[in-house]
Structure 1
């Protein structure tokens, strides 16, 4: 079993097409097909069901795929660790982020990192906090920027709190509350809202605050991105709830500061297995202390926060 064969399997699984997989791997299709067939003979089972219209994983292929990805990641990590000994940072850096991250100027940080470490292939995935944290736990992301209610902590990862912030209400310029100040949540609860989908961390920040105030509210528009929140609010379809630092400079909106605002905490998290050389370099560029490698078996594990005498920001 060879790493190249695993790369071919992963490429076919992700593209559901042998031709596109061969193009991604920069080989002719016949060579890719031959190597996968050779691997299937070695394993004694088929990894893909092939028809004239589609290619999909068999149950054996579904079982093989995660292990293949882990093996490829381990090989890449080994190469990066060896290069790091000589002072060269290379490999991959997969970052996840919520769309409303404000504690760090992420585009500028990515640009600076690319200039300093051009041998690192950087990727960025934007999504919800729960998805990003799970991808860090699974190892498909090296680190992620999250936004959580004050009552929540990311589980199964190492991390640091980057910032605490408050949410504000945003309304269209012609809204009755456009010029209001010091508005309470009870007064605001009479409005129709545009907010994130129920069950997400972005929605929970507001839901928990209204529940604590003893009032409910009508969320008529559930969306997945802050851009859509802003567009619907500008059209006068409802009131939005967004981080105060995020709405600074947004045109066509009026900001309503609240007497008892919802709050959120921005976290930066990475794997408990320890960051890769590229991830370590990125964390150091952000002045974030890096957790040392996990202790050997039989050695009691102590969190980096505990070693620094501070409470843990990310619970194990």
Structure 2
């Protein structure tokens, strides 16, 4: 059913004049007549009695009038809801991010973008690195991710790295090796390791580094909160291998950060699926690209 035919019917039922309805509908009298005849044919009834000088609603036309009004009102109400939803979606930037985002340039880029484009809003949701996949069926395809990666994503994903980060060691300040400017990782092989556990994407790379250095780490704690690990180190409970920029703002006075060999390079990057995106997503992506060219 063409809703416009209902709208023409309602207009003509009010004016009872083809000329006036044609003017109000920005069309011709002939087109108004065609719309009414087509509606009558679809409903298999006669809606108007036509005479040479005037028209009037038939009995069944009057009977249907309030129902047609309700259909048209509900249709426009539905259109309004859809328009509001679409506008809000297009102007909302949805980002899934690792909990430590505030320590990286990516967070500053979001705030700078919002200052330049106050018409947009941002919805940030923190999740662990291992949860940042594009496999969730309920996740909107327009969602942008900010996460750490040790390699480029698959071809179905576009990415914009914002910076690099490297593994380093955090030691208690009173540790015998704390005064060194650089450490061979094997020098820590007898230490108790406090590590970010399997719920993060840093657990296996730390194990791999230790294996590369020739030893199996003695892990005394696995957790998901880097701030808790730093506090444990400050209390001489062990050492940790962490990403340097993650902990720079979390170090205590009685802890130190020391570069290590071997280490491993990682990228902090924004990623999204290749395809069509919302106005907010495309605007933010264009901003990131332009910013990367300028820097």
| Shift, 1:189, TM fit | 2.1
| Alignment-derived partner of residue 204 in structure 1 | 204
Q: For residues 220-252 of structure 1, what are the alpha-carbon distances to aligned partners after superposition, in whole Å with 9 as ceiling and x for unaligned? A: 111112222222222221112222233335332
Say which SS state the counterpart of residue 93 (structure 1) adopts: strand
Partners of 1:254 and 1:262 in 2: CA distance: 19
| Shift, 1:165, TM fit | 2.5
| Shift, 1:206, TM fit | 1.3
| Shift, 1:160, TM fit | 3.0
2:273 to 267, 271, 274: 271
| Alignment-derived partner of residue 282 in structure 2 | 280
Partners of 1:93 and 1:269 in 2: CA distance: 13
Unaligned runs of 5+ in 1: 1-74, 84-88, 290-316
8 Å contact from structure 2 (residues 142, 281) kept in 1: no
| Shift, 1:178, TM fit | 1.3
1:79 to 73, 79, 86: 86
8 Å contact from structure 1 (residues 96, 141) kept in 2: no
**In the alignment, structure 1 residue 172 sits paired with structure 2 residue 179:** no
Cα 1:220/1:91, change in 2 over 3 Å: same
8 Å contact from structure 1 (residues 99, 126) kept in 2: yes
Partners of 1:153 and 1:243 in 2: CA distance: 20
Determine which structure has more spread, i.e. the larger CA radius of gyration: 2
Q: CA RMSD in A?
A: 3.2
| Shift, 1:280, TM fit | 1.5
Say which SS state the counterpart of residue 273 (structure 1) adopts: coil
Partners of 1:103 and 1:235 in 2: CA distance: 23
| Shift, 1:95, TM fit | 0.9
Unaligned runs of 5+ in 2: 1-81
**In the alignment, structure 1 residue 99 sits paired with structure 2 residue 106:** no
Say which SS state the counterpart of residue 281 (structure 2) adopts: helix
Partners of 2:199 and 2:122 in 1: CA distance: 30
| Alignment-derived partner of residue 29 in structure 2 | none
8 Å contact from structure 1 (residues 167, 244) kept in 2: yes
| Alignment-derived partner of residue 252 in structure 2 | 251
What TM-score does the superposition give when structure 1 sets the normalisation length?
Answer: 0.56
Q: How many residues align?
A: 208
| Alignment-derived partner of residue 145 in structure 1 | 146
| Shift, 1:103, TM fit | 8.6
Cα 1:141/1:273, change in 2 over 3 Å: closer
Say which SS state the counterpart of residue 201 (structure 1) adopts: coil
| Shift, 1:269, TM fit | 0.7
